[in-house]
Amino acid sequence: MLEKSLEHVLAWSAHPRAPLYLGAVSFAESSFFPIPPDVLLAPMVVSRPERAWRLAGWTTFWSVVGGVAAFTLAAFATDAVSNLLHGNGYGESYVRAQSWFATWGFWAVLVAGFSPIPYKVFAFAAGGMSMLLPAFVLASIAGRGGRFFLVAALCAYGGPRMQTMLKRYVDRIGWAVVAAVLVWFLAHHFG
């Protein structure tokens, strides 16, 4: 089912309404959809590199709006959201996100926004644990924007070859960034 959804999302990148689909996928992925908008953003940028920054901004905007929707839902229906996440296989991730959130707060949201860690889980955790909304939005813009602008830049300058490499290595790149941020943070606070 996930593979079929991925095929549909990739096909949307060539559609005349592709930017609308990109916005919808960006919003949905931040709150419930399992396919990241990168798979739609990358081919759109490769086909129209002059629109890279606009598309990255559009993706960031709708992703953050989706995150705010998840945040708000969790803030008002914490138990229902927890049950929903546990029932859909995100229970362990949600508990881990709450633990990381309690320890790292703003930084946990920022790293989750950039990395392969499910951002939606941290959006729900932030709302359920009453993070200040402006701090959540700022962390989301930095994390999601950093990710989508990086994808857009790599695809705009690297073309189809970079798109193929990005699909193959996106998780490794994300985890490398998480490790680098963690090392920087630890060195900055304990060094």
Q: How many domains does the chain have?
A: 1
Task: Return mean pLDDT, the chain.
Answer: 83
Whether pTM > 0.85 for this model: the answer is no
pLDDT score of 63: 97
| 138 contacts: CB under 8 Å, gap ≥ 6 | 106
CB distance 166 to 181 below 8 Å: no
Q: For 105, left (φ over 0), alpha (ψ -120 to 50), or beta?
A: left
Residue type, 16: P
User: For the stretch 56-87, what's the b/e string if a residue is b when 16 or more beta carbons lie within 10 angstroms of its beta carbon?
Assistant: bebbbbbbbbbbbbbbebbbeebeebbebbee
Mean pLDDT of 129-144: 93
* 165: containing domain: 2-190
pLDDT score at 2: 47
Burial of 16 (C-beta count, 10 Å sphere; 0-12/13-18/19+): exposed
144-186 confidence digits (pLDDT tens) = 999 999 989 988 988 877 767 766 666 676 667 667 666 766 6
**CA nearest neighbour of 67 among 123, 143, 138:** 123
Q: What is the average per-residue pLDDT within 119-135?
A: 89
pLDDT at position 4, please? 62
Q: To the nearest 5 percent, what fractions of the chain are helix, strand and coil?
A: 85, 0, 15
62-81 pLDDT, tens digit per residue, is 999 999 999 999 888 878 87
